[in-house]
Amino acid sequence: MSHDSPPSPITAQAGTALKGRLRPPGDKSISHRAIILGLLSLGETRIEGLLEGDDVLRTAAAAKALGAGIDRDGDGRWRVRGVGVGGLSDPAGVLDFGNAGTGSRLMMGVVGGHPVTATFDGDASLRKRPMRRILDPLVEMGVSVVEQAEGGRVPLTLRGPREAVPITYESPVASAQVKSAVLLAGLNAPGVTTVVEAAATRDHTERMLRLFGATVEVEAIGPGGHGRRIALTGQPTLTATDVVVPADPSSAAFAMVAGLIVPGSEVVIEGVMMNPLRTGLMTTLVEMGGDIERLNEREEGGETVADLRVRHSRLKGVAVPPERAPAMIDEYPVLAVAAACAEGTTRMQGLHELRVKESDRLAAVAAGLKANGVSHVVEGDDLIVHGDGGAPQGGGTVETHLDHRIAMAFLVLGMVARAPVTVDDGAMIATSYPAFLADMRALGAGLAA
Ligand SMILES: O=C(O)C1=C[C@@H](OP(=O)(O)O)[C@@H](O)[C@H](O)C1
Ligand SMILES: C=C(OP(=O)(O)O)C(=O)O
């Protein structure tokens, strides 16, 4: 998959109700981290349920280039033989992360903690994304930015110091990627590396570091205890372990919204991770009147998972508070689609971080809504969608700007709209959800590629 290939448009059209069961792919955040901690530990890490999307495959290739032994045993079953904290070697070529913000930024942290030199690059989308948020703390830790594209972007080359300096970093952005990069660099620093975040972001790095044997202390701070102080003791011996990757709530989001808005639907989405720092969309959809039942809650791979039964529902507009953004950051495009089908106004507040994802998602969502006759307005960093409870007009072609979530969200809109909806390029869907078309077709969705 490359951004140089000709675009592959996909059209969705409304048809019958969606029925059946599906298991979304493994969580993307956890998949990246399982490979990375596999690289940094001693012994062999066995992973089950790994997301085999392009983003994660790029992380695996980078881990290999930095010294790991990597084998694929079968669907989602991978083994990583690590080099241990401090054991990285200089990669022979450029580390190309394709479309992946998470893979590239977390690996910048890994490289930054080691006396190695590596060049990071990616596709046209990644080349636009801000990396200063990662470079700033890494420079404080002693990393040299040997080369960078204008404005602190990839392609860029980092040289890690002989010994990284442990720092206390107050992150100016609510970003799990920033937090994780600093902690991963801190792994090879003597002493305690601390990250302070004003609002808690997904905590998969902290949880997995502990699973591999690191000492990580987490304290709730700030008004309402919404912030976190995370302290990692550097230079641990990480020990390889087995990781079972739960299904990705950000991928489950598409079938969840489709099940709610396509009349007559009833779908069960299996094994979805219920980490409270990832369930903001579900909270919002339930507030909108969505019929989502959590069945068979259980522990898998250190996370609570559940099967979700979703039935078609009459949704109403709600206000989504800005403090919920970290727990549903990647789900706003598909929430906007749910809002387009709801009765009344949905106000999504505090979406500034959406502007620096694979595309400017605030602009891309607004353009997609406009192309399909959905009444909406962008006010500063807020998106306000007006629905009348009926099926949206549809009939538009949506520009996806190399963004998988924009593509999938608007295909869901097409499953209910009065006229078919086309996305200009579905290629990037393979970064996070390679089986999306097959899974949605199995439920009965009308998707033509
Ligand atoms: O840490 C992670 O795995 C991720 C963090 C989020 O990004 P930010 O850290 O930029 O908010 C999210 O949007 C991304 O899809 C995955
Ligand atoms: C923002 C996303 O990913 P990344 O930052 O890893 O490119 C996403 O998957 O929606």
Does residue 100 sit in the same domain as residue 217?
Answer: yes
Q: pLDDT by residue (tens digit) across 148-184?
A: 999 999 999 999 999 999 999 999 999 999 999 999 9
Per 3-state DSSP, what percentage of the chain is helix, strand, and coil (rounded to 5)? 35, 30, 35
Element (H, E) at 135: helix 132-140
pLDDT at 302: 84
Please check if 361 is assigned to a binding site: yes
CA distance 133 to 113: 16
Does residue 223 sit in the same domain as residue 337?
Answer: no
Q: Which atom of ligand 2 is nearest to the CA of 431?
A: 9
Is any atom of ligand 1 closer than 6 Å to the C-beta of 209? no
- Tell which of 217, 242, 267 closes a domain: 242
Is the pLDDT assigned to residue 50 strictly greater than 90? yes
Please check if 360 is assigned to a binding site: no
Q: pLDDT by residue (tens digit) across 256-268?
A: 999 999 999 999 9
Q: Which ligand is the nearest neighbour of the Cα of 130?
A: 1
Does residue 237 sit in the same domain as residue 262?
Answer: no
Is any atom of ligand 1 closer than 6 Å to the C-beta of 248? no
- Outline where DSSP puts E strands in 373-429: 375-379, 382-388, 397-398, 421-423
- Which residues are part of the catalytic machinery? 330
Is any atom of ligand 1 closer than 6 Å to the C-beta of 180? yes
Residue 103 covered by a domain: yes
Distance 105 CA to ligand 1 centre (A): 10
Residue 394's closest CA among 375, 420, 415? 420
- Tell which of 212, 242, 272 closes a domain: 242
CA distance 80 to 41: 9
Does residue 393 sit in the same domain as residue 329?
Answer: yes
pLDDT at 229: 98
Is the pLDDT assigned to residue 2 strictly greater than 80? no
Residue 315 covered by a domain: yes
* Protein residue closest via CA to atom 8 of ligand 2: 330
Is the pLDDT assigned to residue 443 strictly greater than 90? yes
The percent of residues above 70 in pLDDT, for the chain, comes to 99
From 278, 330, 355, give the residue whose CB has the most ligand 2 atoms within 8 Å, as the site to mutate.
330
The average confidence (pLDDT) of the chain is 97
Contact assessment for residue 423 and residue 397, using Cβ atoms and an 8 Å cutoff: yes
Does residue 162 sit in the same domain as residue 96?
Answer: yes
The ipTM estimated for the assembled molecules is: 0.99
Q: What is the CATH classification number for the domain harbouring 69?
A: 3.65.10.10
Do β-strands 319-320 and 343-348 pair in parallel, antiparallel, or remain unpaired? Answer: parallel
Q: pLDDT by residue (tens digit) across 65-93?
A: 999 999 999 999 999 999 999 999 999 99
Contact assessment for residue 392 and residue 408, using Cβ atoms and an 8 Å cutoff: no
Does residue 357 sit in the same domain as residue 223?
Answer: no
Does residue 183 sit in the same domain as residue 250?
Answer: no
Would you state the structure tokens that stand for residue 411, as one six-digit string? Answer: 């295909």
Q: pLDDT by residue (tens digit) across 334-384?
A: 999 999 999 999 999 999 999 999 999 999 999 999 999 999 999 999 999
Does residue 297 sit in the same domain as residue 321?
Answer: yes
What length does the chain have? 449
* Protein residue closest via CA to atom 3 of ligand 1: 29
Distance 391 CA to ligand 1 centre (A): 32
Question: Looking at the whole model, is its pTM more than 0.90?
Answer: yes
pLDDT at 169: 98
CA distance 240 to 149: 36
The 3-state DSSP class for residue 97 equals coil
> Which amino acid is located at 179 in the chain?
K
Strand partners, 440: none
Whether the bond into 130 is cis, omega within 30 of 0: no
Residue 285's closest CA among 327, 253, 250, 323? 253
Q: Show Cβ contacts of residue 91 under 8 Å, excluding neighbours closer than 6 positions.
A: 62, 65, 66, 116, 118
Does residue 306 sit in the same domain as residue 162?
Answer: no
CA distance 92 to 112: 17
User: What residues line ligand 2, using a CB cutoff of 6 Å?
Assistant: 28, 55, 100-102, 330, 357-358, 405, 432
Distance 249 CA to ligand 2 centre (A): 13
User: Following DSSP, what letter does each residue of 127-191 receive, concatenated?
Assistant: GGS--HHHHHHHHHTT-EEEEEETTTEEEEEEE--SSPPP-EEE-SS--HHHHHHHHHHHTTSSS
Query: Interior CA angle at 196 toward 195 and 198, to 5°?
Result: 145
How many other CB atoms are there within 10 angstroms of residue 394's CB atom? Answer: 24
DSSP annotation of 248: P
How many other CB atoms are there within 10 angstroms of residue 356's CB atom? Answer: 16
Residue 166 covered by a domain: yes
Residue 406 covered by a domain: yes
CA distance 42 to 25: 27
Query: Interior CA angle at 103 toward 169 and 41, to 5°?
Result: 80
Distance 404 CA to ligand 2 centre (A): 9
If you average pLDDT over residues 395-401, what whole number do you get?
Answer: 98
DSSP annotation of 245: P
From 54, 128, 177, give the residue whose CB has the most ligand 1 atoms within 8 Å, as the site to mutate.
177
pLDDT at 4: 64
User: Following DSSP, what letter does each residue of 6-74 receive, concatenated?
Assistant: PP--EEEE--SPPEEEE-PPBPHHHHHHHHHHHHTSBSEEEEES---SHHHHHHHHHHHHTT-EEEEEE
Strand partners, 48: 244
CA distance 97 to 154: 10
Contact assessment for residue 178 and residue 137, using Cβ atoms and an 8 Å cutoff: yes
If you average pLDDT over residues 230-248, what whole number do you get?
Answer: 98
Distance 95 CA to ligand 1 centre (A): 19
Does residue 63 sit in the same domain as residue 105?
Answer: yes
Domain limits at 130? 28-242
Residue 4 covered by a domain: no
Query: Interior CA angle at 419 toward 413 and 423, to 5°?
Result: 50
> Which amino acid is located at 59 in the chain?
T
